[in-house]
Amino acid sequence: MYYKDPEYPGPVEYNVSLGIKEEKETMYPFNSSNINARPPPNWKIHPGPDRYNLKYPKCHMKGQRKSWMFLSKAVRGLEQVESYSLVLDGSQYELKLQHLAGNPTQLWTLESTDHGTFFIINKGNGKVLDIQGGAENRANLITYNKHGGTNQQWHINSDRTIVSAAGNLAVDIYEGKYHAGNRIVAFKTHGNDNQQFHLQHHH
């Protein structure tokens, strides 16, 4: 919308520089603006060779490890709007995609290893994200008792993929179907939307 400049009373004299407000860009993890996602508190990202080493916000409760949600990326509508409303849920043996509810089984803590990877631990059951049966393409992702194998260790990458240390297999929404109850599998890394997850801090 343009506003008429009173210095120029003619019928079509407008100064387009008046009345226009600059919009500030909202910053989210990985420097992108997304709808349906709440910005976390200040945190520092120290990238290595295409990896993020997460530095957690300070916690005022001793012994409390910070919790995170993994929100799936979906591009919807003719305008290709990014949406983040479905999350990784560990309420069942097999990992599922579910609507965001903030339940403990949708919350995860990250435990770093000496190899630049993370154990992703479900807050609801205390078990870790695991590729069922080892490191097979299309294998189901489950939560399982921690044993320290490479199929339980994950790289959290700057392109939002979560890739297994056991091979070039990423956390993947099965067949790219964004609906509650769909299973989550390990699939050869390609980096498309169904392998991208927004890591959001939970207060």
* Residue 37 domain-assigned (yes or no): no
- Domain-located, residue 5: no
Is 156 within a domain?
A: yes
Q: Is residue 34 one of the residues assigned to a domain? A: no
- Chain centre to alpha carbon of residue 20: 34
The pLDDT tens digits of the residues spanning 173-199 come to 999 999 999 999 999 999 999 999 999
Number of domains in the chain: 1
Which domain range does residue 165 map to? 43-57+66-202
What's the rounded Cα separation, in Å, for the pair 5 and 15? Answer: 6
Task: Give CA–CA dist 155/20, Å, rounded.
Answer: 44
The span from the CA of 59 to the CA of 111, in Å, is 15
Q: Is residue 152 part of a domain?
A: yes
In-domain check, residue 6:
no
In a domain, 193, yes or no: yes
Q: Write out the E strands in 43-175.
A: 44-47, 52-55, 67-72, 74-76, 81-83, 86-89, 96-99, 108-112, 118-122, 128-131, 141-144, 154-156, 162-164, 169-173
Q: What is the Cα 173 distance to its own chain's centre?
A: 13
Q: Average pLDDT of 48-72?
A: 61
Tens-place pLDDT, residues 86-131: 999 999 999 999 999 989 999 999 999 999 999 999 999 999 999 9
- Flag whether the pTM goes above 0.95: no
* Residue 70: CATH number of its domain: 2.80.10.50
Whether 4 maps to a domain, the answer reads: no
146, 119 contact by CB (below 8 A) = yes
